[in-house]
Structure 1
């Protein structure tokens, strides 16, 4: 199982193929996902410090273009864990923003 590291939190293992947003949330990281994982709000975006999720998806490209955002980030609702260990940093969390995380994304 791949290991996920988030600065300020303990590393954890999660099953290969799991959406990153769900792995983060299930391990106590209060990442936002205001649109429920539909790539509309971009609140689940993360910086990837180590590891690779492959090329940006078309959905991510469109979301970043629509929001005028840098496409060096990834949407944790759109990427899945591979065999590779990763180190990611959420751009927005419920604790920092004061917002409700939003509906839980589907698997």
Structure 2
């Protein structure tokens, strides 16, 4: 998986985190490091599964909340082995603060 985070059109994070597979105990995944700081701005998160898939993006300023929790999901319980898993974004404004220095977003 490749992930890119932009603030006000400037890339503030790019990485290739290795996500773990989900099982009957845990949904799997990976937590991204909060390397982009706490600066207010217009944030866009982009991701793709690998170089063969298109980038998907989400603008966090589309949500009217002080803090957004974002999860990227690869496939789901209906994805069979060998099938091309889809990539989905899941958001909530009822976020659990997992970063020591959370990132705020602003529409201004």
| TM-based fold match above 0.5 | no
How high is the TM-score relative to the length of structure 2? Answer: 0.27
Bigger CA radius of gyration:
2
How high is the TM-score relative to the length of structure 1? Answer: 0.27
Compare relative contact order (CA 8 Å, sep 6+) and give the higher one, 1 or 2: 1
